[in-house]
Structure formats: C-alpha cells, structure tokens
Chain A
Amino acid sequence: MIEHLPILIILGPLLGAVFASLTSWYRPKLSFPVVIFGLAISSLSAILIVFKLAFSELDVIHYQLGGWGTPEKDEYGIVGIQISVDYLNGLILATVSTIGLLTAVFSTRSVERELTGQQRYFFSLFSLLVSGLLGISITGDIFNLYVFMEIAALSSYALIAYGKGRSYMASFNYLMMGTMGACLYLLGVGFVFVKTGTLNIENLSQIIPQTLQNSQAVFVGFVLIMIGAWAKMAFFPLHGWLPNAYSYAPTASGALLAPLATKVSVYAMLRIMITVYSIDYVLKSPSIQSTVLLLSTISILVGSFFSITQSNLRKIACYFIISEIGYMVGGAWLANEPGLKGAIYHVVADAAMTSAFFMIIGCIVYRTGQTELKKLDGLFYKMPLTFVALIITMAALIGVPPTCGFFSKFYLIQGAVQAGTWHFVIALLISSLIKAIILFRIIEIGYNKVPNPAKEGNKTITREEAPLSMLIPTLIVTLSLILIGLFTDKLVTNFIAKALPEIPSL
C-alpha cells in the first residue's frame, strides 16, 4: 500500500466527499464522519510520505496514474499523468491536509449552528475543496493542475455562497476573478505547450531552461501563468475580491479557505517559477522582477493600512492575508536563497497562522455572535484560552520570536538585504508595526477593559469557552505556531533548502 500513498492523499477527500453526498440522503449524520475519515486518510498519507522522503535517499516520489510506461522508456511520465511528491510540495501537502482535517473537526459545531437545515452538501464541498487544493499541490502535470484549480474554485464558490446575503455577490465577484485567473493560467499553459508539446512539469523543466530561454511565446506564457496565479491568490492589484468573499462566508468556510486557498496558489506560482522555468529565467528579466517586487511592497502596505482602518476582526484578518501574500510573492521574486527559503517557509507558517486566526474568530463568533472589535471587551475574562491563543497568533503575525512568523520575516528580510531591495524591508517592518498596533488594540479591549459582572446581575464573570471540538483544534494550531518556530532549522535544512533549485550566484 505504501507505494499508493500519493494517490491516497487525493482520493481520501475525493471519495469521502462522494460517499458523504450519497449518505446525506439516507443518514445525514453519517456524512460528517465519512468526510473526517477521508481527510484523516489523506492527512496520514501526507505525513507518512513526508517521513518517507525525509528518511530515504529519494529526492522525489513519482506515481504514474494509469501505469503508463516503465521508467526506462522515453514516454515514461509524459504519456499519462504523473503525480509526484518532492521536498517542495511534501510540506505543503502535509500542511494542507492536516489543517483541512483540523478545520473539519472544528467546523462541526459552527456549521450546526450557522447553517441549520442546509448543511446537506456542506461537508462534501468542504472535502472536495481540500482535495482540489491537495491536487494542485501534488500534480506533476500543468494541465491537471488547471483541472484541480477548478475543482477547488467551484467548491469554494459554493462554500462562500453558504454565507447568504452579501456573500452571493462576493462569491460572484470571486467567480469572475477566479475564472479569469484560471483562464489566463490555461492560456499560459497553451503558450508553453505550443513551444514544448508536453505538459509534464519535469519534462518541461528539462526543456525550457535549456532550449527555450529566448522564446517570446514561452515568456508570454510565463507572464500569463503568473497573472493567473496572482488573480487566484489576491495579489495586488487583483485583490479586490478577497475581503468580501472571506468575511461574508460562513465561519467554517472562512476557516478553511482563508489559510489554504491563497497559499496553495502561492505554491503553484513557486512551482512554475522554480521548477518549470528556473530562477535563471526570473533573473533574466530584471525589469519584471523589480516591478513585481514593487507590487508586493504595495500589496503589503495596502493590506496593512486597510487592516488598521477596519473595525471588524474578520475584515482585519482578510486584509492581513493580502499583506501576507505580498510577503510570499516578494520573497519568491527576490530570487535569492534566503528570499525563496523565506517564501516557502512562510507558505507553511502563514497557513498555520491564518488558520489559527480564523479558528479563533470562529470560537468568538460561536460564543458571542460577533466580530466587531469594540464589542469584544473583557474577552480575556470570558474566554481566556481563546484570548491567549489570539495573542499568540497575533504575536506570530507580528513576528515575535520564537513563533514561526519571526523566522519567515528573518529570512525574507535577509533576502531583501542581499538583493538590496530596501523598500521591501521597510514594508515588512511597517506591516509588523501595524499589526503590533492592532494587537495593542485587541489587548486593550479584550484584556484591560475588565467587564463589570455586577452590571449583568451576575456575581462573577462567567467563563465560557467554545465547545471542545472547536477549542482543541484551535489550540493545536496555535501551539503549532510556536513549534514550527522552534523547529525552523530542521524544516529549513531538511526540506526547504533541498527544495530550492540551484541558484546562480550573482
């Protein structure tokens, strides 16, 4: 069974979703355990495969769907569809599937409350979204990536539209932007395909850097794929859809989409950048590189400044995502070792941070029913654990050591210093400080405004945490922020450094 692990990662949630949609007509209560089972299989396989990679000599594990060709033949891997796990996507797979599983556990109660009577297909769609995201991460075929992209996208439109009210328009806008991104990606694939005739990522990575360095069509394809990925990840100036889509979505959808969807698009961008093309290729067009870096600086600043003007915790979190996207794109496009390390590390770190943030918001919504900052006074006294988790998460977002946010920032700044991109350094620092201001605000409202129990006629302040099925995943993810930080060196030397291509020295 061990050789089938790569496909199990995708099949788990996919089949789980199909079964769940079947059972939902007979035993609606059964859908949830079925989905959990599927996600658990996927998460387990992903973790196993990460360990397999770490403890074996292999650099990459291939899986040949349909069993086409033997490794000796030329057509091996090209004729059929190949999925592969290497150091770059192993981590992403483990992160995505684990967060997917935890979020699923987390969402039960909130779905029960928010979507009473309408949750028939919720968990099917949830699971399909996870399988789409996992597929994007695992596939070794650029067209297959497009199909997975659409699976993830279609299910996320529905998940957002569960929010009712304004979420329909938000979802529609997301659909337009998402489809545009996917179409541009597909067109870019077409431009690459025209010159290479192959769709396999490994094969492309042999062809393009060697023979097609100066092909205009391949270059146009590169730009189109990048724009497509940016539209999907809400990179400035294509970020307009994100805040509404994620903040009007139901809590459970937000908690799944926000941490994973954008990060996986970043992964897709990284994969195309460093595997299909090469860092050489990126460095070859310095004008585009400097433009992208400038855009990521703007993205960071825009996200940060908008976040400080918001009064709703969920909107704040959404604008944080936009600024974090700027970190990752900028780090990747610095195109030097520390920058790329920072970008890849931040994909994992930010997935955990955003997940923790949205889960905490979910807990707060479950108990208090609102996310307006002003109304969270005395939160510490009502939900101490949740509040502490919120502080830790904010600290990670600011970049306080020893949380993971600090180390990604460390690498990113190091990369920017090496590349001499000072505006990026300054943007990173400013965004940290702005997040710090928001942290103070949260502390002042939630901790220093001691609620007066006498006013409500109670003797003491009633402590009421969210139910355990929500609290435990939240705490696990929050703790992981510190753990990821502490094991930075292990992660970087064992995985991220090996995932990097050879970087030409300047």
Chain B
Amino acid sequence: MAELPIWQYDTLFLILVLLFGITALAMQNLMAAAIVFGAYSFLMCLIWTTMGAVDVAFTEAAVGAGVSTVFIFATIYNTGVCAKPKNPRLAFKLFAGLICFVTGAFLLSALSDFPNWGDPYSPVNSTISPYYIENTIRDTHVPNIVTTVLADYRGFDTLLETAVVFIACIAIYSILRVDAAKSKVVEPDIVTSPPAYDPTDSLIIRQASRIMVPFMQIFALYVIAHGHYSPGGGFQGGVILGASIILLCISFDLKYVLRQWTEKKIMILTSLGVLIFATVGLACVIMGGEYLNYEVLDPILPGDKAYARSHAILLVEIGVGITVMFSMIGIYINLASNGRFDRGL
C-alpha cells in the first residue's frame, strides 16, 4: 500500500469505464450507444497507457475506438437507429442476471489467490517474460520488446491473427456481398470531380479530410516502419491506413474510393498480406530452419543473424499491414453498402 503513485487515476478511470459501458448498453438510441461505446474504448486506451501497455493502447485506439465504432455506425446506417423497448422479458433478464452474478462471484472467489496488482514478482511477471526483456536486443536488435515478441518469439500467433483478419474480411464479403451479385454493380462513370451537391455532404469535412488523409497515411507508414523503435507495427499502421481510406469513403462517397480501389484490388491485396507473411515463414523452411525461424534468412538479408531477424520482422510487419489495411476497407465497404459496393455511408 505504501507506493500507489499513479494507480489512483486508474481506479477512477476504471469506474468511469464501467459507467460508460453500462450507459452504452442502456441507451435506446443505437447511434448514441455506438458513440458512447467509442468513448468507452477511448477511456480504455488511457487505462492501458497508464499501465504501460502502449502498443495495446495504440491498437485499441485505432481498432476499438476507431474502426469498431465506424463498423457499428455503418451497420446502423443501413438498418435503423432505435432499439424498440417493447417486450422486456423481465424474467429472463433477471435469470441471466443471476447467472452472471453467480459467475462473477465464482470468479471473485479466486481473488485472495491472486498476486497483488503491480507485483513485479508475481508468476506472470517472473516466469517467462524476463527472458524477452533480457534477450530481445541480443536476439533481434529490436528495442521494442512488444514488436519482437509479436513478430518473432510468438510470430506464429501473429500469422494466425493476420489470418483471422483475412478470414473476417472474406467471411463478411461472403455473407453480405453474395446477394448483391445479382443486382449488377453499376460502374461509376468517369467522374473527375466529387459528385454533385448533396445536402448531407459538407464541404468543410471534405476539404479537411482531403488535407488530413495524406498526413494520416504518412504517419501510418511511419508507424509500420518505425515499429521496431516506438509503439506501433503492422497492425496499428494497417488500421490507420485503412482508416484513412474509410475517412475518404465517409467524407466523399464510396464510388469515389472504388474508382481507385476496386473490389478486386481490395480483396486480392487482403490475401496478399497473409501470403507475404506465410512466404517469409516458408523461406525459412527452404533455407533449412524451422518455420518462421528468421535466423536462417541471414544469407539473403543484410546483417548478422540478429539483424536478419530484425529485417524479417519488418517484412512480416509489412505483410500484416497490407492485410489489415485492406481487410478494414473491405469490411467497411461491405457493411456500409450492405454488400452492394455502390453507395453507402
């Protein structure tokens, strides 16, 4: 108890987060619920930053507060805004509440068995994780331990995680797109300028986003490339790149974006990223090592073995970035246009 430097803020944030979460669930207006949920995610980022998990916070800001919220918006845009408060199913809700209460109590029964919050000698903090902290420089020359563990020590998880994003994209494509295949996509005419005046369209937003997008993209590239030394990496960069395109979609119009990024391009690039990652792994096998053992790529990548790992991590991150970027765009366009790929939010 003696040293509780900054953790009081955490408690405050935690209570706030809880309130936001409950509010999001209690709101009848779904749009409002989505916005509150976005705020909830954002607060969550703050908590994680205070706990020292900058990469997680970064991802949450991009994914949770960013694209997740936009996905919910896109869905609501296509359907309707209000949750009808009829037929409350009170008995069932109470029953579910009871189940949750019992589960919660069961979870808390282990409370006394837990290590104290922030204890550096707890099993979690003292079993394997010291290995990563002590050896990351020796093994890979990458100071950002998260990047090392992500792309190298537990690189297989990351490959699969990329695959998950890819699956989500093609799954959503198959769920939504298929019906629209019958109603033929009307290819946009050659339009050089943004579409004609639309009362919901705002000139200010359009111009502002036009200015912002290049900077976002440069930042995103930086995030990917500089992931070795600062928070960030393929995921975060990919999501930001995706978000920049999504911003274009929102402020302009889907057709405007689809002229550049056709359906085919998006879907192909989505799978290409996974392919890059998997191929790097396969290259290791061909070079005589285990799968994803970047060390053996030493002959074809500059530098010694540790640098080979570092460079391979970059390659891998690029793959992740491509897949994540185009998956996010693909998912968004499908959700927003209800699978028709013509117009939407």
A residues bordering B, Cβ < 8 Å? Answer: 4, 7, 11, 14-15, 18-19, 21-22, 25, 63-68, 75, 78-81, 117-118, 120-122, 124-125, 128, 135, 143-144, 147-148, 150-151, 154-155, 157-158, 161-162, 168, 187, 191, 193-198, 215-217, 219-220, 223-224
Cβ–Cβ contact A151 & B160, under 8 A? yes
Cβ–Cβ contact A117 & B163, under 8 A? no
Cβ–Cβ contact A158 & B171, under 8 A? yes
5 further contact pairs, Cβ within 8 A, besides A18-B166, A118-B178: A11-B291, A79-B131, A193-B124, A217-B114, A224-B107
Residues of B within 8 A of A194 (CB): 114-115, 122-124
Residues of B within 8 A of A120 (CB): 174
Cβ–Cβ contact B271 & A18, under 8 A? yes
Cβ–Cβ contact A223 & B127, under 8 A? no
Query: How many angstroms from the CA of A4 to the CA of B155 in the assembled complex?
Result: 17
Cβ–Cβ contact B113 & A151, under 8 A? no
B219 at the interface (CB under 8 A from A): no
Cβ–Cβ contact A144 & B156, under 8 A? yes
Given A67-B293, A144-B157, A193-B124, answer yes or no on A154-B275 (Cβ-Cβ < 8 Å): no
B278 at the interface (CB under 8 A from A): yes
B27 at the interface (CB under 8 A from A): no
Query: How many angstroms from the CA of A168 to the CA of B172 in the assembled complex?
Result: 12
Those of B240-269 within 8 Å (CB) of chain A: 264, 267-268
Residues of A within 8 A of B123 (CB): 194-197
Chain A's closest residue to B309 (CB) is A66
Minimum CB–CB distance for B333 against chain A, Å: 16
B290 at the interface (CB under 8 A from A): yes
Chain B's closest residue to A219 (CB) is B110
Chain B CB within 10 Å, residue with most, of A128, A147, A223? A147
Those of B172-209 within 8 Å (CB) of chain A: 172-175, 178, 181-182
Minimum CB–CB distance for A430 against chain B, Å: 30
Cβ–Cβ contact B171 & A157, under 8 A? yes
Cβ–Cβ contact A22 & B275, under 8 A? yes
Cβ–Cβ contact A128 & B178, under 8 A? no
Cβ–Cβ contact B171 & A125, under 8 A? yes
Choose one: B172, B274, B284; the contact of A18 (CB below 8 Å).
B274
10 A-B residue contacts at CB 8 Å? Answer: A65-B290, A66-B155, A66-B294, A75-B128, A80-B156, A118-B174, A122-B174, A125-B174, A217-B113, A220-B109
Cβ–Cβ contact B181 & A14, under 8 A? no
Chain A's closest residue to B149 (CB) is A79
Cβ–Cβ contact A215 & B113, under 8 A? yes
Chain A CB within 10 Å, residue with most, of B109, B110, B124, B181? B110
Residues of B within 8 A of A151 (CB): 160, 163-164, 167
Minimum CB–CB distance for A373 against chain B, Å: 31
Residues of A within 8 A of B171 (CB): 121, 125, 154-155, 157-158, 161
Cβ–Cβ contact A197 & B160, under 8 A? no
Given A154-B164, A155-B171, answer yes or no on A217-B153 (Cβ-Cβ < 8 Å): no
B283 at the interface (CB under 8 A from A): no
Query: How many angstroms from the CA of A22 to the CA of B275 in the assembled complex?
Result: 10
Query: How many angstroms from the CA of A216 to the CA of B181 in the assembled complex?
Result: 54
- How many B residues touch the partner, as a band? 35 or more
Cβ–Cβ contact A66 & B125, under 8 A? no
B298 at the interface (CB under 8 A from A): no
Given A194-B122, A217-B114, A220-B110, answer yes or no on A66-B163 (Cβ-Cβ < 8 Å): no
Given A155-B171, A195-B123, A217-B110, answer yes or no on A79-B155 (Cβ-Cβ < 8 Å): no
Choose one: B132, B163, B175, B270; the contact of A158 (CB below 8 Å).
B175
Residues of A within 8 A of B157 (CB): 81, 143-144, 147
B168 at the interface (CB under 8 A from A): yes
Chain B's closest residue to A160 (CB) is B175
Choose one: B107, B152, B267; the contact of A66 (CB below 8 Å).
B152
Chain A CB within 10 Å, residue with most, of B125, B155, B174, B278? B174
Cβ–Cβ contact B163 & A14, under 8 A? yes
Cβ–Cβ contact A66 & B268, under 8 A? no
Minimum CB–CB distance for B263 against chain A, Å: 9
Given A154-B167, A158-B170, A215-B113, answer yes or no on A197-B126 (Cβ-Cβ < 8 Å): yes
Query: How many angstroms from the CA of A22 to the CA of B271 in the assembled complex?
Result: 7
B289 at the interface (CB under 8 A from A): yes
B285 at the interface (CB under 8 A from A): yes
B residues bordering A, Cβ < 8 Å? Answer: 106-107, 109-110, 112-115, 122-129, 131-132, 152-157, 160-161, 163-164, 166-168, 170-175, 178, 181-182, 264, 267-268, 270-272, 274-275, 278, 281-282, 284-285, 289-296
Cβ–Cβ contact B129 & A21, under 8 A? no
Given A117-B181, A147-B161, answer yes or no on A65-B167 (Cβ-Cβ < 8 Å): no
Minimum CB–CB distance for B102 against chain A, Å: 12
Query: How many angstroms from the CA of A81 to the CA of B293 in the assembled complex?
Result: 11
Residues of B within 8 A of A78 (CB): 128, 131
Residues of B within 8 A of A122 (CB): 174
Cβ–Cβ contact A128 & B167, under 8 A? yes
Given A67-B295, A151-B160, answer yes or no on A161-B174 (Cβ-Cβ < 8 Å): yes
Residues of A within 8 A of B275 (CB): 15, 18-19, 22
Cβ–Cβ contact A216 & B156, under 8 A? no
Chain B's closest residue to A162 (CB) is B174
Cβ–Cβ contact B132 & A64, under 8 A? no
Residues of B within 8 A of A193 (CB): 124
Choose one: A25, A80, A135, A195; the contact of B267 (CB below 8 Å).
A25
Cβ–Cβ contact B163 & A128, under 8 A? yes
Given A75-B131, A198-B127, A217-B110, answer yes or no on A155-B167 (Cβ-Cβ < 8 Å): yes
Chain A CB within 10 Å, residue with most, of B167, B181, B294? B167
Residues of A within 8 A of B182 (CB): 117
Cβ–Cβ contact B167 & A79, under 8 A? no
Cβ–Cβ contact A11 & B278, under 8 A? yes
Residues of A within 8 A of B154 (CB): 80-81
Residues of A within 8 A of B127 (CB): 196-198
Query: How many angstroms from the CA of A197 to the CA of B123 in the assembled complex?
Result: 5
Query: How many angstroms from the CA of A135 to the CA of B161 in the assembled complex?
Result: 13
Residues of A within 8 A of B264 (CB): 25
Given A67-B295, A158-B171, A197-B124, answer yes or no on A150-B164 (Cβ-Cβ < 8 Å): yes
Residues of B within 8 A of A128 (CB): 163, 167
Given A11-B278, A21-B267, answer yes or no on A79-B174 (Cβ-Cβ < 8 Å): no
Chain B's closest residue to A135 (CB) is B160
Minimum CB–CB distance for B37 against chain A, Å: 16
Cβ–Cβ contact A121 & B132, under 8 A? no
Query: How many angstroms from the CA of A11 to the CA of B157 in the assembled complex?
Result: 13
Query: How many angstroms from the CA of A151 to the CA of B171 in the assembled complex?
Result: 11
Residues of B within 8 A of A81 (CB): 154, 156-157
Residues of A within 8 A of B110 (CB): 191, 216-217, 219-220
Chain A's closest residue to B168 (CB) is A154
Chain B's closest residue to A152 (CB) is B167
Query: How many angstroms from the CA of A217 to the CA of B167 in the assembled complex?
Result: 34
Query: How many angstroms from the CA of A19 to the CA of B270 in the assembled complex?
Result: 12
Chain B's closest residue to A214 (CB) is B113
Cβ–Cβ contact A79 & B115, under 8 A? no
Query: How many angstroms from the CA of A157 to the CA of B175 in the assembled complex?
Result: 9
Chain A's closest residue to B323 (CB) is A18
Residues of B within 8 A of A65 (CB): 155-156, 290-293
